[in-house]
Amino acid sequence: MITLIMKKNFRMCFYALLFFVFTSLPVKSQIPVASPREVKTEKGITMQPDSKMQWMQDAKLGMFIHWGLYSGPAKGEWYMENAGIKPLEYRKFAYPGSGDQYFDAKDFDARKWVSLAKRCGMKYMNMVTEHHDGYALFESHYTNAFTSVQTHNRDFVKEYVKECRAQGLRVGLYKTLINWRYPGYYDVTGTDCKPNKFGYVTDPAHKENARRMKEELYCQIKELMTQYGRIDQLFWDGGWIAQQGSDADGAYFWEPGKFLSPDNTWQVNPLFQDKDSVTGKPLGLMGIVRKYQPDLLANPRSGWCGDYTCEEGGADVKGDVRAGVVEKCMSVTSAWGYNTSMEDPKTLVSVNRLERIFADCIVRNMNLLLNIGPDRHGDVPHLVEQRLLEFGDWVNAHKEAIFGTRGGPWNPTEGKFGYCYRNNVLYVYLLGGYMDDNFVLPSLNKGMKVKKAYHVADGQKIKFIQKGQIVTLEGI
């Protein structure tokens, strides 16, 4: 990784501040200007302004944690649905009678998780508070809720949030909308049960069952937004109905916007509604979130457009510098919740792969949210911890060219190089496929001069020649 420091208050680096310097010059910029982020209003909720998005863009790297009852059988977070295990049978993993599949959580220590994230250079965390299996890791007072407070007398979310704050990391929560404990999820109208692995068939009673599932969600999102102090990020998941269509397609049911509709077929009981302080109207999901957490950043998976967008999975990061705020989320293996692949060095993502994916995110102005799956005891598998710490060594060695930067000012060339900047510093990422000894930068603005160039990791100087607006780095 190479750094150039420029005169005229411009040490060329990533991407968002660069064009403000250029447009103030009397000459036409030779460097492409990014399209401004679109801040729009949808369903009565306005996306957060750039000023509230800045912390996330600066943070760049976060830790995602999938941990719950599914950690007991060690077959991933979709085990309940994949195996068609009905709710009463699935509950057994919360109790000692399930033997070596018991989610005992005996080693859960939020300090260890947060400390690991911090040692790896991560600036924020996001913990699954409840996955699609409907087991909540927090205290909930909904009549049908199934929680860790009931089974373990512990509010794991409370412990996690407290420790994030103690160690100075931003706090994120994951919350699913769907809940496999409710057969009505597959048959919200009670007239057309969709295919499922639990053996549910069409039943008029499913409509009321689905309404109660929605009601539980409303109760719990208010609890999450009010019981733990400031929350910085909310990762919605599971907005689709009967695991069909898109999250946006399910918005008619969940009502993710500012207000509830009095005409909606699935009414939330007034006991579990929250009201707008100005109009007195009952609030929708994001209406509740904005009321209690006005600075929180939410993704689009509730069916509302979101403050930022997601790119999920371990595929290569390709294409141009992204518009808006984009977070890539991926796991250290093919699974998100704990399974035996997290104990196998052959199935864990390699350190080189992590470095490359993160670099590809940085030069495209994206964040990386990297997932781990602790085991049923609450321990991070040793191999996962070691892999993250090795990755963290690279992150910490190059932190100057990571945190607080913006992607650009030019689009990357796939597999070869890309750029990021901060103020008047430009960082050049060589991505493995660039084999030449010299490197020619795209044309600079008139009047811009390079002051010095050096390797980020060790500060070693790099020779360069500047002829007008063309800069050539030599002997790289």
The CA-atom distances, in angstroms, between 120 and each of 90, 143, 395 are: 35, 40, 7
Residue 8 has pLDDT above 50, yes or no: no
User: How large is the average pLDDT for residues 174-200?
Assistant: 98
Pairing of strands 170-176, 233-237: parallel
Angle of CA points 381, 395, 474, to nearest 5°: 145
Q: Looking at the structure, do residues 187 and 223 belong to the same domain, yes or no?
A: yes
Q: Which residues of 204-233 are buried (b: 16+ CB within 10 A; e: fewer)?
A: eebbebbbbbbbbbbbbbbbbbebbeebbb
Q: Looking at the structure, do residues 64 and 201 belong to the same domain, yes or no?
A: yes
Q: What is the pLDDT of residue 83?
A: 98
pLDDT tier for residue 21 given thresholds of 50, 70 and 90: very low
pLDDT in tens, 142-171: 999 999 999 999 999 999 999 999 999 999
pLDDT tier for residue 445 given thresholds of 50, 70 and 90: confident
| Domain boundary, last residue among 372, 401, 430 | 401
What CATH number has the domain bearing residue 237?
3.20.20.80
Q: Looking at the structure, do residues 300 and 319 belong to the same domain, yes or no?
A: yes
Instruction: Report if residue 40 sits inside a domain.
Output: no
Instruction: Report if residue 423 sits inside a domain.
Output: yes
User: How large is the average pLDDT for residues 82-96?
Assistant: 98
Q: What is the pLDDT of residue 22?
A: 26
pLDDT in tens, 202-251: 999 999 999 999 999 999 999 999 999 999 999 999 999 999 999 999 99
Let me know: does 155 contact 138? Beta carbons within 8 Å.
yes
Instruction: Report if residue 41 sits inside a domain.
Output: no
Residue 17 has pLDDT above 80, yes or no: no
Q: Looking at the structure, do residues 94 and 218 belong to the same domain, yes or no?
A: yes
Q: Looking at the structure, do residues 216 and 67 belong to the same domain, yes or no?
A: yes
Residue 110 has pLDDT above 70, yes or no: yes
Q: Looking at the structure, do residues 341 and 365 belong to the same domain, yes or no?
A: yes
User: How large is the average pLDDT for residues 125-129?
Assistant: 98
| Domain boundary, last residue among 376, 401, 426 | 401
* For the chain, percent of residues with pLDDT exceeding 70: 93
Which one, of 448, 452, 363, lies nearest residue 409 by Cα?
Answer: 363
Q: Looking at the structure, do residues 141 and 108 belong to the same domain, yes or no?
A: yes
Q: What is the pLDDT of residue 36?
A: 81
Q: Looking at the structure, do residues 415 and 393 belong to the same domain, yes or no?
A: no
Q: Looking at the structure, do residues 389 and 412 belong to the same domain, yes or no?
A: no
Q: What's the structural domain count of the chain? A: 2
Residue 77 has pLDDT above 70, yes or no: yes
CA–CA dist 216, 148 (Å, integer): 16
Strand partners, 371: 64, 331
User: How large is the average pLDDT for residues 86-95?
Assistant: 98
User: How large is the average pLDDT for residues 77-100?
Assistant: 98
Q: Looking at the structure, do residues 300 and 422 belong to the same domain, yes or no?
A: no
CA–CA dist 336, 168 (Å, integer): 25
CA–CA dist 326, 446 (Å, integer): 32
What one-character DSSP code corresponds to residue 53? H
pLDDT tier for residue 31 given thresholds of 50, 70 and 90: low
Average pLDDT score over the chain: 93
Residue 12 has pLDDT above 70, yes or no: no
Instruction: Report if residue 43 sits inside a domain.
Output: no
| Domain boundary, last residue among 379, 401, 423 | 401
Domain of 413, in residue numbers: 2-34+408-474
Q: Looking at the structure, do residues 78 and 214 belong to the same domain, yes or no?
A: yes
Let me know: does 273 contact 260? Beta carbons within 8 Å.
yes
Angle of CA points 98, 242, 330, to nearest 5°: 70
Residue 468 has pLDDT above 80, yes or no: yes
pLDDT tier for residue 34 given thresholds of 50, 70 and 90: low
Q: Decide which of 29 and 243 is more confident.
A: 243
Q: What is the pLDDT of residue 10?
A: 33
pLDDT tier for residue 476 given thresholds of 50, 70 and 90: confident
Instruction: Report if residue 42 sits inside a domain.
Output: no
Instruction: Report if residue 150 sits inside a domain.
Output: yes
Q: What is the pLDDT of residue 25?
A: 28
Q: Looking at the structure, do residues 424 and 470 belong to the same domain, yes or no?
A: yes
User: How large is the average pLDDT for residues 330-353?
Assistant: 96
pLDDT tier for residue 20 given thresholds of 50, 70 and 90: very low
